[in-house]
Chain A
Amino acid sequence: MIRGLYTAAAGMIAEQRKHDTITNNIANLNTPGYKQVNAISRSFPEMLIALTSGQPGAGGASRTIGRMNTGVLAEEDPSLYVQGDLKETKNSFDFAIASDIQENGLDFNGRGMAFDPNTGDRVFQKQLFFTVQSPQGETRYTRSGNFAVNETGELVTPEGDKVLGLNGQPVKLVNPATGQTLTSVTAMADGRFLDPVSGQPLVDAAGQPLGILLSRVDNPNRLVREGNGVYRVNPGDEGTVAALTDQNGARNAELGNLVDTHQAVLRQGYLEQSNVDPAQSMVELNTALRAYEANQKMVQYYDRSLDKAVNEVGKV
Chain B
Amino acid sequence: MTALQQKLDILSDNMANLDTTGYKRKDVNFSDILMNVKQQPQGFQQTGRLSPLGYVQSWGSRVSQVQYDLTQGSLKETGVSTDLSVEGDALFQVEANGQIAYTRDGGFQLTALGGDPNMLTLTTKEGYPVQGKNGSIRIPVGYEMQVSPDGTVTAHPAGNPNATVKIDQIKLNVAVKPQFLQQIGNNLFIVPRDMDNATVQVVRDAVPADFDASSPGRTVDAPLGIRQGWLEQSNVSMSDEMSDLLLVQRAYQLNARALSSADTMMNLANNLRG
Contacts and interface: CB of A to CB of B under 8 A. Distances in A.
Interface of A: 12, 16-17, 19-24, 26-32, 34, 37, 40, 42, 74-78, 89-91, 144, 146, 148-153, 158-159, 180-181, 183-184, 196-198, 221-222, 224-229, 234, 237, 271, 278, 281-282, 285-286, 289, 292-293, 296, 299-300, 303
Contact of B32 (A90, A197, A221, A228): A228
B6 to A, nearest CB: 11
Given A19-B265, A31-B31, A285-B258, A183 B54 contact: no
B195 interface: yes
B7 interface: yes
In terms of DSSP, what is the predominant structure of the interface of chain A? mixed
Interface stretch (B14-22, B106-114, B139-147, B173-181): B173-181
Contacts of B264: 289
Contacts, number: 180
Nearest to B56: A225
Contacts of B54: 224
A128 to B, nearest CB: 19
Nearest to A90: B71
Given A184-B221, A282-B257, A158 B29 contact: yes
A36 to B, nearest CB: 11
Contacts of A34: 32, 61
A183 B265 CA distance: 52
A16 B265 contact: yes
Given A181-B176, A300-B272, A227 B30 contact: no
A24 B58 contact: yes
A180 B56 CA distance: 43
A242 to B, nearest CB: 18
A91 B65 contact: no
B136 interface: no
Closest 5 CB pairs of A and B: A227-B34, A158-B64, A158-B65, A221-B50, A27-B60
B5 interface: no
